[in-house]
Structure 1
Amino acid sequence: MITIRPYSTLDTDDLWRIHLLVISEANVEPTHQHYHDILHIPEQYLATGGEFLVGTGKDGVVLAMGGLKILEEGKAEIKRLRVHPSFQKKGYGQQILSNLEQKARQLGIRSLYLDTLENQLGAQKLFENNGYQQKEPAIIDGFNVLIFEKLLA
């Protein structure tokens, strides 16, 4: 079980470390400019009314993260959903995703989008199990990704 709380500027180094671990396992250059929003969470997520959540273990160590980025009225994107590789398959990603969806509903979001790399099969399964429908594949900043969408009630 993890404790989920809002992001703090003190979390930045821990979030970047988890990101590097997760993306390296996906065989992607983890320091690509596409990912630098993790270093600018207040401006990229919070300033636009979104959310960024952190999941910590009993000892307070950051194990998981995820963001809700507002795109336009009624639309948002789930981004940077990551779980430390040593703690995957324990439901932590599900907890972060569920909390972000709850926040989206509170904000009046009607449509959620997200993308994942084609080789991140665990993420794809998580999204499909949560009612996300796969849309067209795309290339974003040079990465082959799958786009998913979920309509919120």
Structure 2
Amino acid sequence: MAGGPAPAATGRVPGGRVPAQGDPVVRAATGEGEPGVTPTLRIRRYRWSDLDAVWSLHQVGLAQVGISPGDGVYYDDDFPRITEIYLAARGEFLVGELPEAGIVAMGGLRRIDDRTAEMCRLRVHPDHQRRGYGAQIMQVLEERARELGYSLLCGDTTLRQVAALELYRKSGWRELRREARGDMVVLYLEKPLNGVVSPLFSR
């Protein structure tokens, strides 16, 4: 498995501003306990106590597709600084929970410029994939991006991350370019937040 122990949290945001954490649930679970119904995630904002869980989810997700330190794709320096990099800088970081499994999904928005945010750290635990959880996180992040005033989303993934590629395609993202890094191919994508689904995605 890639990486090691979770990075230590760094404390307060420079300048002393600590945004509210543990905010009200963005989207509550539905269908729990009903036979044959896949429960919807309980999606909420990240808080400090989630660090170990999101770090583990990050490692498991990348190990599933063979991404590891030193391959030119892997990085993890943002994890101990989620509050500073995401929440305190006109961004967002969400986690998705299930009653019996804890945090099984996550995703973030990171400010690039006044009109553009990067959607990143989109992960779903392998044991809970193919249930629509990634799409739920992505949808809520898109809604948050609009609320925060962004008009364009960007992101990247690799050809190895088949489930992520399919999700981007279904969600109307446009492929901009591809870049070889070692034995991997990274795809760079964007999506205008104007409600128009783009068909321009290479296979």
The two structures share one fold, judged by TM-score above 0.5: yes
Query: For residues 72-92 of structure 1, what are the alpha-carbon distances to aligned partners after superposition, in whole Å with 9 as ceiling and x for unaligned?
Result: 101000000000110001111
Higher relative contact order (CA 8 A, sep 6+): 1
Match of 1:109 among 146, 150, 168: 150
Deviation (angstroms), 1:59: 3.6
Match of 2:159 among 99, 114, 118: 118
Query: For residues 35-92 of structure 1, what are the alpha-carbon distances to aligned partners after superposition, in whole Å with 9 as ceiling and x for unaligned?
Result: 2212321111112110000000024710100000011101000000000110001111
Match of 2:55 in 1: 16
Match of 1:7 in 2: 46
**TM-score w.r.t. length of structure 1:** 0.92
Establish whether residue 74 from structure 1 lines up as the match of residue 115 from structure 2.
Answer: yes
CA distance in 2, matches of 1:13, 1:30: 18
* Percentage of matched positions with identical amino acids: 38
Q: Which protein is richer in helix relative to its size?
A: 1
Contact residue 20 and residue 31 of structure 1 kept, 8 A: no
Q: Which protein is richer in strand relative to its size?
A: 1
Deviation (angstroms), 1:138: 2.8
**TM-score w.r.t. length of structure 2:** 0.70
2:166 aligned counterpart, secondary structure: helix
Q: Which moved more, 1:33-42 or 1:89-98?
A: 33-42
CA distance in 1, matches of 2:119, 2:98: 22
Match of 1:63 in 2: 104
Aligned residues: 153
Match of 2:197 in 1: none
Establish whether residue 37 from structure 1 lines up as the match of residue 85 from structure 2.
Answer: no
Q: Which runs of 5+ in 2 are unaligned?
A: 1-39, 195-203
Letter in 2 for 1:24: A
